[in-house]
Amino acid sequence: MIAVDTNILVYAHRRDSRFHGRAMEVVRSLAEGQASWAIPWSCLHEFLAVVTHQRIYHPPTPVDAAIAQVEAWLDSPSLVVLQESGEHWSKLREAVAMGAVGSKIHDGRVYAICVGAGVTELWTADRDFSRFPIRVTNPLVD
C-alpha cells in the first residue's frame, strides 16, 4: 500500500505551488483508483496546520476550504487513514535511533505509523525519509 506524506497533499491542494499540477494528478489517481492507499492522521493534521498558516501562505487557505479538502480525501472509498498501532513505540524508538530527532521526530512518527500499518511505499518530496528502511518515492519527478 502507498501512503502519502503531507508535502504531496499540500502541493496537490495549493494552486500557487509550482508542483500543484503533478501533485494533484498523482493524488487524484490514488483517490480515484481501486487500490488501497493511505494517509496518516498526523499528515492530515500537519496539512491543516500548513495550509491555514498565515506565515507560510499569503493568503492562507480559508479554514472551510481546508476542511473541505480533507473531507474530499476522506470520501475516497480506497483511502485507509492510518494511526498509531500497538507496536508504535518500538518503531518510533527505531526511527529516533536512526536520526529522527528534534524537528525530524514528526518524520519518525510518520515512518512508525506507516511501518506499523504495513505500508510498502511512502510518496513524499522530503529527502529526510531516505534515512528509514521504507521505499520512498517522489512522485513529482520522473
What is the average pLDDT score of the chain? 96
Q: For 4-37, give the DSSP string.
A: E-HHHHHHHH-TTSTTHHHHHHHHHHHHHSSS-E
pLDDT, mean of residues 32-50: 97
| pLDDT exceeds cutoff 80 at 106 | yes
Alpha-carbon dihedral 22, 24, 111, 36, rounded to 10 degrees: -120
Cell numbers at residue 112, please?
A: 512508525
For the whole model, what pTM was predicted?
0.95
Instruction: Evaluate whether the domain defined by 2-83+119-137 bears CATH number 3.40.50.1010.
Output: yes
Cell numbers at residue 36, please?
A: 488501497
